[in-house]
Structures are given as C-alpha cells and as structure tokens.
C-alpha cells in the first residue's frame, strides 16, 4: 500500500466518522471532532510560529536589526498574561491596542469603501445609464437607487415608520427580502457544493469509482 493510499483511507475514515453524526451523536464522531480540534489548533500554532514569529520577528527584528518590532513581542507577551488570574489585567493593554487600531482603520475603510463609494456609484451608475440610453440599465439603476434609498429608510429607527416614511420603509423591506432570498439561494448553492466536494473525494480519490 502506497503512502497516498493509506492517506486516502485515513481521510475517508475521518470523513465517514464525521458523517456518522447525521445518524446520531456517537463516540466515533466525538473522537473525529476532537482530532479536528487538536490538529486545527496545532496547525494554527505552528503556522503562526514559522510564518509570523520566525519570518517576521526573528528574521526582520533580530537578524535584520529592526529593534522596534520588540514592541509587538512585548505586547504579545502581555497578551499571554491573560492565562493567569493574578496578572490577567495586563492583557488589557495589548487588547486596547488591537481595539484602537481596528477602530481607527475600520472607521476610514468603511467610510470610504462601504459608504461614500457606494453612494457615489448609486448615483453615477444611474446618470451614466441615462447618458447611454439603454432602457435595461436605466430601469435597473433606478431600481438600485430606489432600493438603496428605501432600504436605508427602513434602517432608520429614530422616526416612526408612518405615512410616506413608513411606505418607503415598506418598499425597503421588500428589497431587503429579495436580497435575503438571493442570499438564501447562494447559501444553498454553497452548502451543496461543499457536500459535492466530499462526495467527489469519496468516489474519486478514495474508491476510484469515477474517473
């Protein structure tokens, strides 16, 4: 038996082990799940060691002489203090750094890409399509503009949804429902694809039933 055949049998056994959960929770599933958790944690641990600590800190910081990277290590060690009850509070410093950095970066990124660019393109797509004169795109982009506006109105909860405002919000929820419907369709597609992938492994790589 070649190494790849043994590997395929082990992979198949683990695949079937997880699938036994569909019948009911059982010890084979539990063990497979525990192996997954352990291997997964080990995988992340060692990958981060080589790719991050070694290639980033050791190579650049120590061998490359960029001593300012020690700041990251110091914050990292402070983070590990979380494991201790006595000095766990120290971990708040690196956590504060993470929270501050993420808040600062996200504020700008979301403002630019997810708010301003979207508002701009909602309007510019509509004006461009009017200039081109293709009714398919004109109607489509009117739908986008109306849907975006009414959707935003629906999310505005500081004013009671009554009258014209309420009617607009109602249209907004229709658009959001269509969005959720499309998302549902894509989710089904996604989940089925994942199962197809495993069936392909079992039939093709393991049992060699299909070419």
Query: Residues 55 to 84: which contact another protein by CB under 8 A?
Result: 55-57, 59-60, 64, 68-69, 71-73, 75-77, 79-80, 82-83
> Which of 40, 163 has the CB closer to another protein?
40
- Quick one: tokens of 116? 């301003």
Among 87, 123, 167, 182, binds another protein (CB under 8 A): 182
Q: How far apart are CA 176 and CA 182, in angstroms?
A: 10
Q: Are 8 and 205 in contact (CB under 8 A)?
A: yes
Residues within window 189-208 making contact with another protein, judged by CB under 8 A: 189-201, 203, 207-208
144 contacts another protein (rule: CB under 8 A): yes
Contact 77, 91 (CB under 8 A): no
User: Any idea which residue has 């290590």 for tokens?
Assistant: 73
Residues in the chain: 211
Q: Please list the alpha-helical segments (H only) found in the chain.
A: 3-19, 27-48, 70-80, 92-109, 117-132, 135-154, 163-200
- Locate 191 and state its tokens: 């989940």
Touching another protein, residues 12-31 (CB under 8 A): 12, 14-16, 18-19, 21-23, 30-31
Q: Say whether residue 138 binds another protein (CB under 8 A).
A: no
Q: Is residue 172 within 8 Å of 153, Cβ to Cβ? A: yes
Residue number, 15 or 165, with CB nearest to another protein = 15
Does position 87 interact with another protein (CB under 8 A)? The reply is no
Which position among 1, 25, 45, 135 is part of the footprint of another protein (CB under 8 A)? Answer: 45
Site string for another protein, 108-127 (x = CB under 8 A): xxxxxxxx-xxxxxx--x--
């Amino acid at each position: 038996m070649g190494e790849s055949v043994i590997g395929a049998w082990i992979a198949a056994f683990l695949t079937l082990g997880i699938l036994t959960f569909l019948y009911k929770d059982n010890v084979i599933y539990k063990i497979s799940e525990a192996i997954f958790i352990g291997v997964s944690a080990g995988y992340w641990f060692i990958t981060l060691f080589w790719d991050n600590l070694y290639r980033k800190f050791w190579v650049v910081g120590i061998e490359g002489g960029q001593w300012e990277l020690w700041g990251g290590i110091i914050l990292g060690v402070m983070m590990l203090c979380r494991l201790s009850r006595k000095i766990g509070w120290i971990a708040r410093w690196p956590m504060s750094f993470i929270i501050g950095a993420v808040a600062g970066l996200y504020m700008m990124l979301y403002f630019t890409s997810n708010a301003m660019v979207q508002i701009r393109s909602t309007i510019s797509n509509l004006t461009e399509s009017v200039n081109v004169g293709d009714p398919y795109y004109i109607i489509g982009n009117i739908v986008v503009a109306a849907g975006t506006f009414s959707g935003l109105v629906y999310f505005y909860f500081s004013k009671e949804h009554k009258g014209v405002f309420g009617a607009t919000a109602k249209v907004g929820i229709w658009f959001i429902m269509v969005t959720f419907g499309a998302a549902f369709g894509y989710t089904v597609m996604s989940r089925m694809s994942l199962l197809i992938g495993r069936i392909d492994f079992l039939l093709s790589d393991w049992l060699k039933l299909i070419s």
